[in-house]
Amino acid sequence: MTTVAQLYRYPLKSHGREELAHTTLTAGQSMPWDRTWAVVHDAARTDGTEWAHCANFSTGSKAPALMAITAAFDSARELLTLHHPDRPSLTFHPDRETSRFLEWVAPLVPENRAQPSAIFRLDGRGFTDTPYPSVSLCNYASLRALSDAVGTPVSPHRWRGNVWFDTGSPWDELDWVGKEVAIGSVVLRIRERTERCRATTANPKTGERDIEMLRILKGWGHQDFGVYAEVIETGPIFIGDQVKVL
């Protein structure tokens, strides 16, 4: 039986992951507090009033050091704490203390890249990587196959997935596109594969590029890892809940 192994959210897009024991998914929305905020850079073409493409934001594909950030979020006070091996920990409110964050993150962004300039907020659907509110699903069986190809264990943190499970067979999840999947009482519709970017080449412990991940993925004839899903039936999700293709 396939079950939920881990749950993650990313309150500030591309700036830290937080592991969860449970969450509630709502039809038509992303995971609560997932990518609610995003860091816009000085070359962006968006005003933050609606969803925008990830090219407008600071991400790990252009600034690999960001991949080493971990997060803890106090949803009651909306305080976000960020940790990085090369920076002191920072606790701040993303809406009210932007300048403190920009000072903290500046050393992690290459000087030849667009520089962080502001934080935008988008409630309900968040700044997901898709133009629709999505939840990302990843399979540990696929991760093991990839680790075997690399020759060393590959961290799940490279993939920034929301829901992790293990079907026992690599790449099963890629065949779920167009199908519905039940996780506990939640039902999701699998919309598309997740095509990966250069953020996956960075080590999530150090923030340094160390594996040519996209080249290795292309050995399977694609550049995909995991799938994007849309929530169509509301409900809670817990570690250990059954994952079932309908």
Look up the CATH number of the domain holding residue 175.
2.40.33.20
Q: Can you give the pTM of this predicted structure? A: 0.96
The reported pLDDT for the residue numbered 174 is 98
Q: Are residues 48 and 167 in the same domain?
A: no
Q: Domain count for the chain, please give it.
A: 2
Q: Where does a domain end: 64, 89, 121?
A: 121
Closest by alpha carbon to 154, among 213, 84, 220?
213
Q: Are residues 116 and 207 in the same domain?
A: no
8 and 106 inside one domain: no
What pLDDT was estimated at residue 231? 98
Kindly give the parts of the chain with pLDDT less than 70: none
Q: Which domain holds residue 21?
A: 4-29+130-245
Nearest CA to 159 among 132, 188, 138? 138
| Residue 98 sits in the same domain as residue 198 | no
* pLDDT at residue 84, as a whole number: 98
Write down the pLDDT at residue 79. Answer: 98
Q: Are residues 202 and 136 in the same domain?
A: yes
Same domain, 75 and 156: no
Residues 144 and 229 in one domain: yes
